[in-house]
Amino acid sequence: MGIDFIIAAIITVVGLTTPILLAGLGELVVEKSGVLNLGVEGMMLMGAISGFAVTVFTFNPWFGVLGAAAGGALASLLFAVLVLQLNSNQVATGLALTIFGTGLSSLMGLSFTGRIVVPFLSVFPDSLAKHEYLQLIFGYSPIVYFALIMVPLTTWFLKSTRAGLILRAVGENDLSAHSIGYSVIKVRYAAIAFGGAMAGIGGCYFSMVITPMWAEKMTAGRGWIALALVVFAGWRTGRLLAGAYFFGILMALELYAKASGFSFLPSQFWAAMPYAMTVVALSFISSRGTAGANAPACLGKPFLPST
Amino acid sequence: MAEDASAIPVLRDLAQQGCKLIFTTSYGYMDQTLQVAGEFPDVKFEHCTGFKRADNVSTYNSKFHEGRAVLGTIAGKMSTSGVLGYLGSYKVPEVVLGVNAFALAAQKQNPAATVKLVLIDSWFDPPKEAAATETLINLGCDIVTTHTDSPGPLQILEQKGLHGFGQGADMSAFAPNAHLTAIEDIWGPYYVERTKALLDGSWASTDTWDGFKEGTVVIAPYSKDVPADVAALADGVQAGYKDGSYDIFTGPIYDQDGNLKVKEGEVMALGDLAVMDWFVKGVESAS
């Protein structure tokens, strides 16, 4: 087992991790604002088809990524109107968004089935991007670097900026934030749109990078893993990054174990691991009592001010 | 249609609209087909790849493994590493037959050829299919064939400059250089035949398992990367299946542990193939 082997395996892990990291990061911000959006899968699919379609028309993957962000954000705004303006149940509306996004993306994708685009790979020169060792650093799609940069940026935003503080306040105690003059609804609109855009970019990683094509339901449930990831991470960005790579390594391990002929654990066990680990993490968090209970206090509750 | 109970009302609707012959074209519609068929005894049903029949329910399937023997022949001859990848969905007879036919045919060209098998527990999961393909490549496979539905693996092979095959249809549009050929499933003639049988009153509940000979399995045109001598070998396998002189499941066949399962000169019966649940020697699998 040489160094090449390990590098190739790491590149596979990065590919498996990046979409759930992006979608998870977006959902983390949404949940920090007190909104639970279970529509991640639908938004990822909307991003996947939007990004692919824009790339087909413009021949420019950078516009494609913007299109994916717009597609995901537009889908999420539909959810936002329902839960923020009409106070509909967030769980039911989120699930509806997944179903809606799946259906609408299939409809939009009808005329794109069977087409391909040039994969949106590394923009570094081949001497770096295809170098035997340096590809470990330079061999990725720009979306991978974007995802990695967004982790510290989101941390900084939530922890050190005034806007981030307001967002967290809205998520922890919406009535108090409202009473001192912050617009809970506007903050949540922005958070939901951000979550949608990030899920959309995560989705287009499938349709523009890994397998540069469009196919119905091509995200194949990664949105649900992203949702589990946010809980697994205890709503902390650093842990979200670690958790995303942990999940990515688990997914790659399953494949490597199978391809190497190991059968010490049934494959269903591997497939269930991300969810099983989330349950373990949740139990661990709640067993530490209130000190570890990191969930935003207003998560999933409608905002109903008396005035 | 989702392969769950939501197929039942759709089937009922078709029957009530007056359809007299209804084809359900996926394994996952099996029990739903049987249930609705019980409610409409005058309507005939044809279920693809299932094993449950009734007076008004036929089943039909295709000998996909005959096509796999052609792919195995090409892969065994063209692979330089002698390590082939096989990306499958579940351990069901169709996939087991495909893996075994592929491995046996490859070993006829290169006795040392091995087949690394990854079953991904899904028929369609492009990101997982892609990651599994990368894994197989990293473990030394230079040709990967797929028994899942998306062209994702071919796109990975295209990026890596390696080769593979299309599944179910010609997928060369997705990977012009990587795509060597494909197994195509051609159901049209069967549909016509069964509809004629219904019209002339000769329809009966049957279990059909057609292949090259009947035209259900067709091999797509070879790409420019398939050398002439390899193409000739592959054509030979097809011709052999059409005239009955070739059957990849002819002994001696050993299982993974080296036990002789089929004696020299013996040919496995169709009934045994339909329930095959063991892999042949040279297949490296986790289960």
CB contact under 8 A, A261 and B116: yes
Distance of CA A119 to the CA centre of its chain: 20
Residue A293: per-residue pLDDT: 60
Distance of alpha carbon A245 from alpha carbon A241, whole angstroms: 6
pLDDT at A264: 67
* B114 confidence band (pLDDT: 50, 70, 90): very high
pLDDT score for A83: 95
Q: What is the pLDDT of residues A178-227, one digit of tens each?
A: 999 999 999 999 999 999 999 999 999 999 999 999 999 999 889 999 99
Residue B1 lies in a domain: no
User: Which two tokens mark A50?
Assistant: 């939007």
pLDDT at A1 over 70: no
Look at residue B150 and tell me if it is in a domain.
Answer: yes
Closest among A145, A101, A213, A241 to B130, alpha carbons compared: A213
Q: Are residues B75 and B191 in the same domain?
A: no
Put simply, the answer to whether B159 touches A213 (Cβ < 8 Å) is no
Say if residues B64 and B169 touch (Cβ distance below 8 Å). no
Q: How confident is the model at residue A268 (pLDDT cuts 50, 70, 90)?
A: confident
**8 Å CB contact of B119 and A220:** no
**Would you call the peptide bond into A266 cis, given omega within 30 degrees of 0 as the criterion?**
no
Say yes or no: B200 and B226 in one domain. no
Query: What is the CA angle A273-A278-A283, rounded to 5?
Result: 125
Residues B127 and B229 in one domain: yes
> Do B221 and B153 fall within a single domain?
yes
Instruction: State the residue range of the domain holding B13.
Output: 7-63+186-210
A134-187: per-residue pLDDT in tens? 999 999 999 999 999 999 999 999 999 999 999 999 999 999 999 999 999 999
Q: What is the pLDDT of residues A73-105, one digit of tens each?
A: 999 999 999 999 999 999 999 999 999 999 999
| Same-domain pairing of B35 and B177 | no
Lowest mean pLDDT among A286-290, B35-39, B97-101, B216-220: A286-290
Number of structural domains found in chain B: 2
Task: Test B118 with A255 for CB contact under 8 angstroms.
Answer: yes
Q: Quick one: how far is CA B152 from the chain centroid?
A: 18
Provide the pLDDT for residue A114.
85
The distance between the two most distant Cα atoms of chain A, rounded to a whole number of Å, is 67
- How far, in Å, CA of B142 to CA of B201, rounded? 52
Q: Is the pLDDT of residue B182 over 70?
A: yes
Q: Which of A39-43, A180-184, A289-293 has the lowest mean pLDDT?
A: A289-293
Q: Phi, psi at residue B170, to the nearest 5°? A: -65, 115
Per-residue pLDDT band for B123 (boundaries 50, 70, 90) equals confident
Considering only alpha carbons, which residue of chain A is nearest residue B89? A267
B74 vs B199: CA distance, rounded Å: 42
Tokens of A254: 């399953």
* Chain A residue numbers touching B121 (CB-CB < 8 A): 267-268, 271
Residues of A in contact with B129 (CB under 8 A): 211
State yes or no: pLDDT of B155 exceeds 80. yes
Is the CB of A9 less than 8 angstroms away from the CB of B138?
yes
> What is the per-residue pLDDT for B235?
95
CATH C-level class of A3-291: mainly alpha
List pLDDT tens digits, range A233-259. Answer: 989 999 999 999 999 998 898 888 888
- Give the type of residue at B240: G
Higher pLDDT, B190 or B1: B190
What spatial distance separates the first Cα and last Cα of chain B, rounded to whole Å? 31
Question: In angstroms, rounded to a whole number, what is the distance separating the alpha carbons of residues B130 and B51?
Answer: 31
Q: What is the pLDDT of residue A10?
A: 94
Per DSSP, the residues of B132-155 read: HHHHHHHTT-SEEEEESS-SHHHH
d(CA A265, CA A270): 8
Residues B180 and B235 in one domain: yes
Is residue B28 within 8 A of residue B53, CB to CB? The reply is no
Backbone angles phi, psi at B171, to 5 degrees: -110, 25
A9-18 per-position pLDDT tens digit: 999 999 999 9
* pLDDT for residue A21: 97
Q: Which one of B194, B210, B226 terminates a domain?
A: B210
Question: What pLDDT does B152 receive?
Answer: 92
| pLDDT, mean of residues B246-255 | 92
Kindly calculate the radius of gyration of chain A based on its CA atoms and give it in whole angstroms.
20
Give the A window 112-141 contacts with B, CB below 8 Å: 114-116, 119, 121
| Residue B34 and residue B99 in one domain | no
Which A residues 171-230 touch B at CB under 8 Å? 206, 210-213, 215, 217-222
Tell whether the model's pLDDT for residue B287 goes beyond 70. no
The ranges assigned to domains in chain A are 3-291
Three-state DSSP class for B45? strand
* Residue closest to A157 by CA, chosen among A293, A291, A32: A32
A256 touches B: beta carbon within 8 Å: yes
B260 lies in some domain: yes
Q: A8 and B137: CB-CB below 8 Å?
A: yes
Which residue type sits at A94?
G
Contacts of A221 in chain B (CB under 8 A): 125
The span from the CA of A249 to the CA of A14, in Å, is 9
How remote is the C-alpha of A206 from its chain's centroid? 12
B185 Cβ contact partners less than 8 Å away, ≥ 6 residues apart: B62, B64, B168, B169, B216, B217
Residues B105 and B57 placed together within one structural domain of the fold: no
**B115 shares its domain with B238:** yes
Residues of B within an 8 Å Cβ radius of A: 85, 116-122, 124-132, 134-139, 150-152, 155-156, 159, 173-174, 284-287
One domain, residues B24 and B154: no
The ipTM, to two decimals, is 0.88
- DSSP 8-state class, residue A290: G
Q: Mean pLDDT: which of A91-105, A274-288, B23-37 is highest?
A: A91-105
CATH number of the domain that residue B261 is part of: 3.40.50.2300
Residues of A in contact with B139 (CB under 8 A): 256, 259-260
Does residue B2 sit within a domain?
Answer: no
Return the pLDDT at B237: 94
* C-alpha distance from residue B274 to each of A97, A99, B32, B51, B128 (Å): 42, 37, 22, 9, 28
